[in-house]
Amino acid sequence: MKNEAIRGEPIFFGDAMQESVLRHAGIMDARVLVIAISDPAATRRITELARRLSPVLFIITRTRYLQEMKPLHDLGANEVIPEEYETSVEIFARVLERFQVPREEIEEFVDQVRSDSYEMFRSLSQDPYCSSSLTLPGEEVSTLTVGKGSQAEGKTAEELRLKEYGMKLLAVYRDLEILVDPDIRSKLQADDVVILMGPQDNISSVKGLFGNLAES
């Protein structure tokens, strides 16, 4: 920051929750405001104040938790980036890269996840079957939720014989964490989300292993 000041970049120190500080920093003429602090209450206050002072300002906020997204949007934020899902997006991208998915396909997939407000990750724990839109020649990357009481619960990928369907287990999404390159002998738990890659025609065959038997 000291070096930037030497180069002539204007740097101000102050409490951004105070209207006078924002005005002094030039909020009325600013085009974009980025709020990247750890305090949820302060983030909400700054967002609300900045929007009131400048209706045309583009506000980007960072938040640690998904439940903060709607309140921040309601207060005037144009874009809200949740750390917990952004981390998952980055890890997922690395998993795909490890399996030699073309970089342009990965970037297209990541862009779509972000443009959909992380809807893919939001629906993972709710939908028994949720297919991502990343399709490769002859293959598809899909997500399947392990239903309680399903054939997959308590089983390993090896016991489910996923390889016989031509499916590769890329990762397991559990409790907002992605287990990268999981051991095929690790037992799956109810509500786990497995991320698979394989032939498009085999997805429907594998789907039945993960459904809740009580709902069948």
Q: What is the CATH number of the domain that holds 211?
A: 3.30.70.1450
Q: What is the CATH number of the domain that holds 63?
A: 3.40.50.720
Q: Which of 37, 60, 77 is the last residue of a domain?
A: 77
pTM assigned to the model = 0.51
Interstrand relation of 58-63 and 32-35 (parallel, antiparallel or unpaired): parallel
Model pLDDT for residues 58-95, shown as the tens digit of each residue = 999 988 877 788 899 999 999 888 776 776 677 677 77
Cα-flanking dihedrals φ and ψ of residue 185, to 5°? -95, 0
Domain limits at 40? 2-77
| CB-CB contact of 44 with 71 (8 Å) | yes
Token pair of 151 as six digits = 């054939």
Model pLDDT for residues 102-134, shown as the tens digit of each residue = 788 778 777 877 776 666 665 544 444 444 445
Shared-domain flag, residues 68 and 136: no
Shared-domain flag, residues 73 and 89: no
What interhelical angle do 83-98 and 103-115 show, nearest 10?
A: 160
